[in-house]
Amino acid sequence: APDVPLANVKAHLSQLQSIASSNGGNRAHGRPGFRASLDYVQAKLDAAGYQTSVQSFSRSGATGYNLIADWPGGDVDDTLMTGAHLDSVTAGPGINDNGSGTAATLETALAVARENYQPDRHLRFAWWGAEELGLVGSTYYVDNLPSSERSKITGYLNFDMVGSPNPGYFAYDGDGSSGSGGPAGSAEIEQVLRAYFQTIDVPVQDTAFDGRSDYGPFIRVGIPAGGLFTGAEGRKTSQQAQLWGGQAGIAFDRCYHSSCDTTSNIDDTALDRNADAIANAVWTLAAGGGAG
């Protein structure tokens, strides 16, 4: 897999920050900053050769949108999806939550196009609306897939908060080694996501696979899933600070859901490592025949 350029990921974060700043300070569902964020991501994907579509839904008296982008080629009966939520809360610009997942996923998709990667599996990327209102966009997408289309999605990767300023390195516990686990196939996804961090000697801990982000609707219908996370309101323990550095007794993200979740609220090393891990996972999983 290519090394995803951190500078490119950070350029997307700067653009999302500008979009928020010129639209009342946020990129929330139903606000102009959300739609401007979607238009920004869609234009990049269209220019790179993706087939994009926008799915609309209605929630709380406002129209919400999911952006879906298909990379032409591969076995569509064996589709690997990768997604991130694009909306922020109304309190702030949402640069770690979830500009980070948005930008890292976007830059991975653009790396696929730059390399003209033609894997065995079909690749589809998604940027979800209204996650902050309760996984609304991703739930709408999964619930409205015809069963014949649902069965073609053989895996889903989710990235929500991957640049926390006092970072931990977490993988969703797909194999159930510290909780209940997920659909068959989630264990392999967890191992592939962890593999990149092994190559750079960064320890990874499990985080709950309990449906607290957009993979929830996928695992509820039995689609194997996984993802990475650098922590939200939880506090880093002293043991975790010894493992990873950073500040013990302080939240992984002190600006979680706040106005200070700006471009200053990002740890560049965490963002770079996670972006590279995402690309590694997409390359590795897309090459291996899953259901095909």
Q: Provide the binding-site residues for ligand PHE, judged by CB under 6 A.
A: 97, 131-132, 160-161, 212-213, 229, 232
Q: Which does 175 bind (CB under 5 to 8 A by kind): ligand PHE, Ca ion, Zn ion, none?
A: Ca ion
Residue 131 annotated in active site: yes
User: Which residue number is nearest to Ca ion in terms of Cβ?
Assistant: 177
Rounded Cα–Cα distance for residues 16 and 8 (Å): 13
Q: Which does 177 bind (CB under 5 to 8 A by kind): Zn ion, ligand PHE, Ca ion, none?
A: Ca ion
* Binding footprint of Ca ion, residue count (CB under 5 A): 4
Cβ contact 162:85 at 8 Å: no
- Pairing outcome for strands 121-128 and 62-71: antiparallel
Q: Which of 15, 26, 10, 21 is nearest to 94 (CA)?
A: 26
Q: Does 276 bind Zn ion (CB under 5 A)?
A: yes
Q: Are 9 and 277 in contact (CB under 8 A)?
A: no
Give which of Zn ion, Ca ion, ligand PHE, none residue 272 binds (C-beta under 5 to 8 Å, depending on kind).
Zn ion
Residue 3 interacts with Zn ion (CB under 5 A)?
yes
Stretch binding Zn ion (CB under 5 A), from 61-69, 117-125, 176-184, 270-278: 270-278
Is 109 in contact with 279 (CB distance < 8 Å)?
Answer: no
Q: What SS3 state is found at 65?
A: strand
- Catalogue the active-site residues: 131
- Residues binding Zn ion (CB under 5 A): 3, 97-98, 160, 272, 276
